[in-house]
Amino acid sequence: MKNNELNTIREALKISPDNVPLLKLFAKLCVEQWALGEGKEVFERILTFHPNDLEAQLGVAQVLYQMGKVSEASVRIESILQNHPESAEALLYSAKVKISEGDFKSANDHYHKSIALNNSLKDGAVEKELKEAGLSAIPAETKPDTPVLNTSAGWIAEESNELLTGEKDGSLLEAIDNIERPKINFSDVGGLENIKEEIRLKIIYPLQSPDIYKAYGKKSGGGVLLYGPPGCGKTLVSRATAGEIKASFISIGLHQILDMYVGNSEKNLHEIFELARKNAPSVLFIDEIDALAANRTDLRHSASRTLINQFLAEMDGDIASNEGVLILGATNAPWYIDAAFRRPGRFDRIIFVPTPDEEARLQIIQVLSKGKPVEKLEIRELAKKTKDFSGADLKALFDLATEASLQKAMQENRVIPITTNDLLKQAKRLIPSSKAWFESAKNYALYSNQSGLYDPILSFLGIKK
Ligand SMILES: Nc1ncnc2c1ncn2[C@@H]1O[C@H](COP(=O)(O)OP(=O)(O)OP(=O)(O)O)[C@@H](O)[C@H]1O
Ligand SMILES: [Mg+2]
């Protein structure tokens, strides 16, 4: 847990305030979480003991660069390079700074020196800039045989063509269910009206009236992050969105990307985005987004940091345009998610998907009873008596009642309809599954409510507002 991790290190630093490795770890974590000011302070503190520490020097330069103080960063980098002309990281930062300053020729020069020294520093964003400036992003001699952390727009496209046509064994695309054209639409989702409307605004209207949207300088696409307790319709509404606009639906759980081949995660991620782009209009549903964000603090695996950067670049449309691609992310643990994910153009809409209220339960029950042998259900009564039930809990009610009545039907050899009483009987036995979730969510909302992000949880619990 990110905040805890930072706090643990803070505590440890109180005991040994001059522990340099600890200070470095802390500073890097700060920078990763965009606590730039604090990160910079800590790097500078290290420099007071060890003025020649390369990592700390680079850290300060990086923070300055990330703060947008390009000329200050440039001065720092130049002095680092004077003492360490072979530092691949310094050369990479120098390239970034030069690009910001518009000096593409030097940027190109430094970038190539950097990746020749350390190929894992390949940087998609830098390569894209260089390419746009008319400079070859990757000279043939530095092209590795097996690309690992490659984010170059140019030849990733070649790679993924191969994969998209399914020529490669063990491709991620074979592991996922590929492209689906869902038959369900919004009418199959009970309640969640605000979410449906948000999605309409973000993709459905822009697709229906592209000219109007263009006139206002708006594009379709972008990201919506859905969070909340399990079983409340995040996956369902995402699938229904695709059905609603007859778009393709591409669904992936992050563990599928992370678990595949060590080091191939970036490529997998890129393939998924490419698949969505090629099939636009499309809904790209990424479940368990938190797995990606939580990895961010795992400094031992630097690849996962690359993966996050890759993810952000894919979302930003840096690598290729995401026009017509709606990215829907889902998580049960929004508190693991880095603020960098919430910047405009990324998941700029974050929506709480709560357990359904009585009206929503009523609608869900209606949806669930469609096509089932039910006898004049007292829907209102059922909705009233299923407080705190998630959509999935309600579905479980129907499943259990169906099973019981099927068993009877088999014995008596006739169809025996499901009654309100059957369902109420099951409801008494079921404990709402969202309870545990709300217990931990409440703590986050009360004690680490990042700029009011979790206010919807508090107001749902009747604690505030
Ligand atoms: N609003 C709803 N309307 C109709 N059915 C629902 C609704 N919400 C949930 N359900 C039922 O519960 C099942 C589980 O919902 P879903 O998988 O969308 O939940 P989720 O929010 O994605 O959960 P998780 O966080 O565990 O992934 C659905 O397949 C559906 O049968
Ligand atoms: Mg789900």
pLDDT digits (tens, 9 = 90+) for 188-222: 998 899 889 988 887 778 877 878 877 877 766 56
Q: Which of 436 and 392 is assigned the larger pLDDT?
A: 392
Q: Which residues contact 189 (CB under 8 A, 6 or more apart)?
A: 196, 233, 236, 237, 240, 367
Best mutation site among 236, 244, 289, 366 for ligand 1, i.e. most ligand atoms within 8 A of its Cβ? 236
Considering the domain boundaries, does residue 165 fall inside one?
no
Question: Given this model, what pLDDT does residue 165 score?
Answer: 33
Average pLDDT of the chain? 80
Question: Given this model, what pLDDT does residue 298 score?
Answer: 42
Considering the domain boundaries, does residue 193 fall inside one?
yes
Residues 282 and 372 in one domain: no
**What's phi and psi for 377, nearest 5 deg?**
-70, 140
Residues 104 and 214 in one domain: no
Residues 135 and 187 in one domain: no
In CATH, what number is assigned to the domain containing residue 19? 1.25.40.10
Considering the domain boundaries, does residue 441 fall inside one?
no
Q: Which of 152 and 331 is assigned the larger pLDDT?
A: 331
Question: Given this model, what pLDDT does residue 306 score?
Answer: 76
Question: Given this model, what pLDDT does residue 157 score?
Answer: 27
Q: Which domain holds residue 74?
A: 2-139
Best mutation site among 187, 232, 364, 382 for ligand 1, i.e. most ligand atoms within 8 A of its Cβ? 232
Q: Is 311 exposed, middle or buried (0-12, 13-18, 19+ CB in 10 A)?
A: buried
Type of residue found at 282: S
Give one DSSP letter per residue of 244-310, joined into a string. HTT-EEEEEEHHHHHHSSTT-HHHHHHHHHHHHHHT-SEEEEEE-HHHHHHGGG-TT-HHHHHHHHH
Q: Which of 151 and 260 is assigned the larger pLDDT?
A: 260
Question: Given this model, what pLDDT does residue 281 score?
Answer: 86
| pLDDT for 385 beyond 90 | yes
Residues 227 and 375 in one domain: no
| pLDDT for 254 beyond 80 | no
Q: What is the pTM of this model?
A: 0.63
Q: How would residue 141 be classed by pLDDT, with cut points 50, 70 and 90?
A: very low
Residues 320 and 337 in one domain: yes
Whether the bond between 21 and the residue before it is cis, its omega within 30 degrees of 0, is no
Q: Which of 96 and 178 is assigned the larger pLDDT?
A: 96
Q: What's the CA-to-centroid distance between 242 and ligand 2, angstroms?
A: 15
